[in-house]
Amino acid sequence: MTKKNPRKKKQPKKSAPTKNNTAGDNGMYQSISIENFKCFKRIDLKNLGLINIFFGPNNSGKTSVLEAVFAHAAGANIYAFDGQVFNKRKNNITSGLYDYGENIFNMFNVFNNPVDGKYQFKISAKLENNTKKQILLNTFTPDYVLYDLKTELSKNIVGPAPEQKFIPGPNYPGQPLSHPGIVPPQKIGAWEIKVNDKTDRYDAYFPPNYGNVNRNPLKMVYVTDILSHRDTISEVKIYGQLKRSNLIGEFTSELTKYFQEIREIDLIPRPDGIASSVYIGLDNEKKLPLSSFGDGLRRWFHVLGNFVLYKNAIHCIEEIDATFHPEVQAPFAKRLYHYSKEFKNQIFATSHSIEFVDSFLKSLFGPNGAITDSDEDPIRIFTLDRSTDDIGIWALSGREAYDQRTQYNIDLRK
* Judgement on whether residues 174 and 248 belong to the same structural domain of the protein: no
pLDDT band at 18 (very low <50, low <70, confident <90, very high): very low
Sequence-distant (6+) residues with CB within 8 A of 284 are none
Residue 121 structural domain:
76-216
347 is a domain residue: no
User: Which of these ranges, 292-296, 301-305, 407-411, has the smallest mean pLDDT?
Assistant: 292-296
Sign of CA dihedral 138, 144, 146, 147: positive
Residues 243-283 have pLDDT tens digits of 999 999 988 988 887 788 888 999 888 888 777 889 999 98
Residue where a domain terminates, one of 309, 333, 355: 309
Q: How many Cα atoms sit within 13 Å of 382 on the Cβ side?
A: 27
Of 405 and 391, the one with more pLDDT: 405
- pLDDT in the model for residue 120: 93
Q: Please report, for residues 28, 159, 173, 397, the alpha-carbon distance to residue 331 in angstroms, rounded to integers and kept in the order given.
A: 25, 66, 46, 21
* Judgement on whether residues 284 and 201 belong to the same structural domain of the protein: no
Segment 333-353 shows an average pLDDT of: 89
Sequence-distant (6+) residues with CB within 8 A of 186 are 97, 145, 165, 166, 205, 206
Count of domains forming the chain: 2
N-terminal to C-terminal alpha carbon distance within the chain = 26
- Per-chain mean pLDDT for the chain: 80
22 is a domain residue: no
Residue where a domain terminates, one of 309, 331, 353: 309
- pLDDT in the model for residue 176: 45
Share of residues in the chain with pLDDT > 90 (%): 28
Return the closest-CA partner of residue 233 out of 291, 153, 187: 291
How many whole angstroms from its chain centre is CA 355?
22
Partners of residue 316 on adjacent β-strands: 223, 348
* Judgement on whether residues 301 and 203 belong to the same structural domain of the protein: no
Q: Is the pLDDT assigned to residue 170 strictly greater than 70? A: no
User: Which of these ranges, 5-9, 215-219, 254-258, 317-321, has the smallest mean pLDDT?
Assistant: 5-9
* Judgement on whether residues 157 and 191 belong to the same structural domain of the protein: yes
pLDDT band at 16 (very low <50, low <70, confident <90, very high): very low
Segment 360-383 shows an average pLDDT of: 88
* Judgement on whether residues 287 and 206 belong to the same structural domain of the protein: no
Under 8 Å between Cβ of 343 and 20: no
* Judgement on whether residues 155 and 249 belong to the same structural domain of the protein: no
139 is a domain residue: yes
Residue where a domain terminates, one of 309, 329, 363: 309
* Judgement on whether residues 211 and 87 belong to the same structural domain of the protein: yes
- pLDDT in the model for residue 367: 87
* Judgement on whether residues 238 and 212 belong to the same structural domain of the protein: no
- pLDDT in the model for residue 293: 86
What is the Cα gyration radius of the chain?
23
Residue type present at position 161: A
Q: Is the pLDDT assigned to residue 331 strictly greater than 90? A: no
Residues 27-68 have pLDDT tens digits of 899 999 999 998 898 999 999 999 999 988 888 889 999 999
pLDDT band at 8 (very low <50, low <70, confident <90, very high): very low
Max avg pLDDT among 96-110, 166-180, 186-200 = 186-200
238 is a domain residue: yes
162 is a domain residue: yes
Q: Is the pLDDT assigned to residue 316 strictly greater than 90? A: yes
pLDDT band at 177 (very low <50, low <70, confident <90, very high): very low
Under 8 Å between Cβ of 385 and 391: yes
Under 8 Å between Cβ of 406 and 384: no
93 is a domain residue: yes
- pLDDT in the model for residue 46: 94
pLDDT band at 25 (very low <50, low <70, confident <90, very high): low
- pLDDT in the model for residue 224: 82
Under 8 Å between Cβ of 66 and 350: yes
24 is a domain residue: no
338 is a domain residue: no
* Judgement on whether residues 248 and 199 belong to the same structural domain of the protein: no
Sign of CA dihedral 246, 324, 319, 368: negative
